[in-house]
Amino acid sequence: MAWKGISDAVIRRLPIYLRVLEEVKGKEACISSHELGKRAGVRPALVRKDLAWFGEFGKQGVGYDVEFLQDELRKILNLDEPLHMALVGVGSLGHALARYNRRRFEKDPLFTIKLVALFDVKPELVGTYVDDVPIYSVEEIPRVVPENDIRLAIVTVPADVAQEATDALVAAGVKAILNFAPVKLDVPKDVHVANADLSLELQRLAYYIGAQHS
């Protein structure tokens, strides 16, 4: 499912609401925007505004039906069925992320994003596995991505080859990329990139070490 013109800031909060709903499911049938906001770290008014983009989910004085809202959020986020993901660049970070994702997928039945293919340029890696996920040559992206209906990918290659890897993924049908390479990737308008650049995150955090916040 997809809605036009909804800001990324709104989308960014939906998985947090989903996590809160999963925590309270089975304990409470309904949840107020106050409680949902408190657990998610979001103001209640903003919770109501965010959810109102997608329909009328709440009832005055009662709040949200936990299971119903959970189901709706899963549909909105395309998390109502298994979603196949690839990872390009099986260095130490790529390897760790691959294992992290597989563990999460195996342990949590509600985590539907499944890593199904890894890609690397190193001949000694191609044909081996991380857990039970095969490592293919990057040259096989055009075949493996559509064959496995992969539409989501993690990029953990060095900066100087990140655009090339991205171009191959996009040409093969990938629509969303989590990019760990410290470069801005150029993609067509129908493809979404999230930058998970750790250096930028740390540099941003450094601002706060001397801050007197209130």
Judged by CB under 8 A, does residue 203 bind a second copy? yes
- Min CB(52)–a second copy separation in Å: 17
In the chain, the amino acid numbered 85 is: M
In the chain, the amino acid numbered 93 is: L
Q: Produce one character per residue of 62-100: b if its CB has 16 or more CB atoms within 10 Å, e if not.
A: ebbbbeebbebbbebebbeeebbbbbbbbeeebbebbee
Please name the residues in contact with 142: beta carbons below 8 A apart, sequence gap of 6 or more.
168, 171, 172
Can you read off the two tokens belonging to residue 200?
Answer: 């930028």
Residue closer to a second copy by CB (options 126, 153) is 153
Judged by CB under 8 A, does residue 176 bind a second copy? yes
Judged by CB under 8 A, does residue 12 bind a second copy? yes
For a second copy, the binding residues in 26-85 under the rule CB under 8 A are 39-41, 76-79, 83, 85
Of 61, 84, 86, the residue nearest 155 (C-alpha): 86
Judged by CB under 8 A, does residue 114 bind a second copy? no
Please give the residue ranges that form the binding site for a second copy (CB under 8 A).
1-2, 4, 11-12, 14-16, 18-19, 39-41, 76-79, 83, 85, 92-93, 95-97, 99-101, 104, 111, 113, 151-152, 175-178, 182, 184, 189-192, 194, 196, 198-214
